[in-house]
Amino acid sequence: MVFGMSTACFYPNIYIEQAIDIIADMRVKNVEVFFNCMSEYNMTFVKELKKRIDDRGISAYSIHALSLQFEPQLFSRYPRAREEAFDIYKQVLEAGAELGAGVYVFHGPSHVKRAKKMILDYPYIAERTDCLADTAKGYGIKLAWENVHWCWYSKPDFANELLDRVNTDNLYFTLDIKQAAQSGFDPVDFLGHTKGRLVNIHLCDYTHSENGITPALPFDGIMDFDAFRKALKEIEYDYAMILEVYSSNYTSHTQLQDNFTHIESYFSY
């Protein structure tokens, strides 16, 4: 099992290069690099980030782009918009390859028209996904589509619907616990639909509040982690567990480090 932490845990208070140092000081060996703006895809910046990662003796397991900047347009039927987005996509893949990351966490298009029922054109989505996944493969990176409650992949069956139609062998998945709950599902519900293609898990917890489902540090909310761990053992999951919480979910870096240590111990089956 690979245990790591996302630089998103420190957003927006700390730049990602500073987050790398904090994560290394916590003795975390793997990191998910969450790019937060276009300038962070610049290769000069990426090379500096790579040097910092190498100097601190850690590894970049995965990358995550700020998806709304360009990922929805990758599926646009307007060629010019699609091509512009594809240029940015390749820039992010180049950054991931430079960092040595093997996984690209992908949101894809969002479901913005909530008043209208979402009807997905799976053949078209599969055609575009083949292109995106095969392009990522050329950089040595797995395309790992993440479930997000406000995006196309909000329900478990999206994964198998897509897998039944794509030709690529480079489509994988990321499971986000809080996003599953915000979609109205138990995170375990997503496991059976990924057909052995799950390579990344965003670990967090959640509670119910007047504002809806609110993220929390793992083991601080209502998530049934015993059932989740049992389900992961049954599918022999042996990829990444990435701690990804909001900076408002903890009060100190010591609390975050202690939580990570608990995660390592709890999921080391």
Q: Which domains does the chain have, with CATH numbers?
A: 2-267 (3.20.20.150)
**pLDDT at position 115:** 62
User: What separation in angstroms does the CA of 160 have from each of 151, 172, 177?
Assistant: 16, 11, 19
Q: What is the pLDDT of residue 269?
A: 74
The whole-angstrom separation of Cα 127 and Cα 42 is: 29
Which among 21, 18, 23 has a CA at the least distance from the CA of 243?
23
| Strand runs labelled E in 95-237 | 103-106, 142-146, 171-176, 198-203, 205-209, 212-216
d(CA 115, CA 127): 27
Task: Kindly report, residue by residue over 119-144, the tens digit of the pLDDT.
Answer: 899 999 999 999 999 999 999 999 99
Residue type, 143: L
Distances (CA, A) of 188 to 115, 172, 212, 228, 233: 28, 17, 20, 6, 12
Q: DSSP label at 147?
A: P
| Ranges in the chain, pLDDT < 70 | 113-116
Which of 72, 55, 4 is closest to 256 using CA atoms?
4
pLDDT at 142: 98
- In one letter, which amino acid is 62? S
Closest CA relative to residue 240, chosen from 144, 99, 148, 100: 144
pLDDT of residue 113: 67
> Residue 159: what pLDDT?
98
